[in-house]
């Protein structure tokens, strides 16, 4: 019996992640290339009210984050959304579809970010694109397979650099020569103004800078004291990210006219340009690391979802194999890395990347409905550590559906 138990334990993921690292990991799933790309666009739509738009976007994202938080405490499994949907609706086929869609979106996102990483590098040095893309994918796959401590350590390390960079941008914005003569009081739109329409439109655009928090729940089987730590880490990481976005965007629009930010290819670089070429280059390096971070998070997420699906017999059992040495789903990680490298080299990823955001928003809506349904089942998988009012997931579902419609209208 003891030997059997030991064998069973060797097939499981290892709980090594503590609350502080989990919060920084969560911020790393959100802070990065999305905000760098969206800061100028949001300023172009909302003008001086861009900080409010990011704040509203954070609030909108929080509704879904709260749903994921409670579900991660009720059902702490690596399968994440797929497991939540199965538990709520009892439809195995729906759970399998959700799981495979999440895997595909993660692979496409990682491939897109891998290509972006190489193209960022090409801004500094000349490298062969296809070979470099394969090398980057293999390095990231190696980090993910090496062990969860290694992967989380890399993500957290880069996250700290990203946060430090954004704090530097805030400082640099206060020293921009000939900055706009705008006071902090002008950053809040008047209640009677139609400016709130622009703010709401910009908020739905800014919503995409927060996508990533949902990846945290796939780490559930590697978190210590998971039912208590994971939900609160998820919520705290989103709140801290939202505060950071609001403060940085405020610093940007106070220093640089919104129309200038909207036209800038790299809005953050525009805020530090007066500090010299080294500062601009540093922003470029951080952009590379941001793309690397996001791609690595996706590989980790895909391998955990595949592991969780194999555990439920929705995927081949091979994908559930865990290395006895590294305690990672090594085969799922290897296969994901190979597919990512192939897609990154062979396909144009832009259109596919747009589709992934639509899929994720649809999953958000379904997960919110799943929690609402579960909360109607008295006594079923209740969490002692994190409980929401039953109506709140319906708000999250409505917000996610509205964001989905907004994205569809953008693509039409």
Q: What is the CATH number of the domain that holds 367?
A: 1.20.1740.10
Helices (runs of H) and strands (runs of E) counted in the chain? 16, 0
Q: Does residue 7 fall inside a structural domain?
A: no
Q: Does residue 267 fall inside a structural domain?
A: yes
Query: For residues 106-136, b (16+ Cβ closer than 10 Å) or e, as one string?
Result: bbbbbbbbbbbbbebbeeeeeeeeeebbbeb
Task: Check residue 2 and give its pLDDT.
Answer: 43
- Rounded to the nearest 5 degrees, what angle is found at the Cα of 201, between the Cα atoms of 360 and 401? 35
Overall average pLDDT of the 241-247 stretch: 95
Q: Does residue 26 fall inside a structural domain?
A: yes
Overall average pLDDT of the 371-384 stretch: 77
Helices of type H across 47-91: 50-74, 81-89
For residues 214 and 400, is the Cβ–Cβ distance under 8 A? no
**How many residues comprise the chain?**
412
Task: Check residue 181 and give its pLDDT.
Answer: 63
The CA distance from 12 to 9, in Å, is 5
Q: Does residue 142 fall inside a structural domain?
A: yes
Q: Does residue 5 fall inside a structural domain?
A: no
Q: Does residue 130 fall inside a structural domain?
A: yes
For residues 255 and 174, is the Cβ–Cβ distance under 8 A? yes
- Rounded to the nearest 5 degrees, what angle is found at the Cα of 169, between the Cα atoms of 164 and 172? 125
Between 369 and 119, name the one with better pLDDT.
Answer: 369
Q: What are φ and ψ of residue 223, in 5° steps?
A: -105, 135
Task: Tell whether the model's pLDDT for residue 10 goes beyond 60.
Answer: no
For residues 206 and 199, is the Cβ–Cβ distance under 8 A? no
Overall average pLDDT of the 335-339 stretch: 95
What total of structural domains would you count in the chain? 1
Q: Which residues pair with 223 in a beta bridge?
A: 17
Token output for 358: 């639509």
- Tens-place pLDDT, residues 31-84: 876 788 788 889 999 899 999 999 999 999 999 999 999 999 999 999 999 999
Nearest Cα to Cα of residue 280 among 299, 300, 296, 264: 264
pTM of the model: 0.89
Task: Tell whether the model's pLDDT for residue 268 goes beyond 90.
Answer: no
Which structural domain, as residue segments, surrounds residue 327? 17-411
Task: Tell whether the model's pLDDT for residue 5 goes beyond 50.
Answer: no
Rounded to a whole number, what is the largest CA-CA distance in the chain? 75
Q: Does residue 373 fall inside a structural domain?
A: yes
The CA distance from 178 to 141, in Å, is 46
The CA distance from 361 to 399, in Å, is 9
Q: Does residue 2 fall inside a structural domain?
A: no
The CA distance from 367 to 26, in Å, is 19
């Amino acid at each position: 019996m003891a030997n059997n138990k030991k064998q069973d334990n060797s097939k499981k993921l290892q709980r090594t992640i503590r609350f502080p690292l989990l919060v920084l990991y969560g911020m790393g799933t959100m802070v990065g290339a999305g905000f760098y790309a969206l800061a100028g666009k949001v300023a172009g739509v909302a003008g001086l009210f861009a900080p409010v738009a990011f704040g509203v976007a954070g609030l909108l994202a929080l509704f879904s984050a709260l749903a994921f938080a409670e579900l991660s405490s009720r059902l702490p499994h690596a399968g994440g959304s797929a497991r939540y949907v199965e538990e709520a609706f009892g439809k195995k086929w729906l759970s399998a579809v959700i799981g495979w869609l999440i895997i595909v979106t993660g692979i496409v996102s990682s491939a897109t970010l891998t290509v972006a990483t190489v193209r960022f590098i090409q801004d500094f040095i000349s490298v062969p694109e296809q070979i470099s893309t394969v090398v980057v994918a293999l390095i990231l796959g190696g980090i993910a397979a090496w062990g969860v401590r290694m992967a989380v350590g890399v993500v957290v390390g880069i996250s700290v650099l990203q946060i430090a960079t954004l704090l530097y941008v805030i400082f640099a914005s206060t020293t921009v020569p000939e900055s706009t003569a705008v006071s902090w009081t002008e950053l809040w739109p008047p209640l009677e103004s139609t400016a709130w329409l622009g703010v709401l439109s910009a908020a739905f655009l800014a919503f995409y800078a927060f996508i990533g928090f949902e990846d945290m729940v796939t780490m559930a089987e590697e978190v210590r004291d998971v039912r208590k730590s994971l939900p609160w880490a998820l919520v705290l990481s989103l709140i801290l990210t939202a505060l950071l976005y609001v403060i940085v965007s405020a610093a940007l629009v106070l220093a640089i006219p919104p129309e200038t930010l909207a036209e800038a290819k790299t809005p953050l670089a525009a805020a530090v340009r007066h500090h010299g070429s080294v500062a601009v280059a540093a922003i470029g390096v951080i952009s590379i690391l941001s793309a690397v971070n996001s791609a690595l998070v996706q590989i980790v997420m895909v391998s955990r979802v595949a592991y969780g699906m194999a555990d439920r017999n929705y995927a081949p059992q091979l994908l559930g194999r865990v290395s006895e040495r590294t305690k990672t789903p090594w085969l799922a990680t290897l296969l994901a890395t190979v597919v990512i490298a192939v897609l990154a080299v062979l396909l144009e990823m832009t259109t596919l990347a747009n589709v992934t955001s639509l899929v994720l928003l649809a999953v958000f809506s379904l997960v919110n409905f799943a929690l609402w349904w579960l909360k109607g089942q008295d006594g079923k998988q209740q969490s002692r550590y994190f409980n929401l009012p039953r109506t709140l997931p319906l708000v999250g579902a409505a917000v996610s559906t509205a964001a989905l419609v907004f994205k569809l209208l953008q693509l039409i």
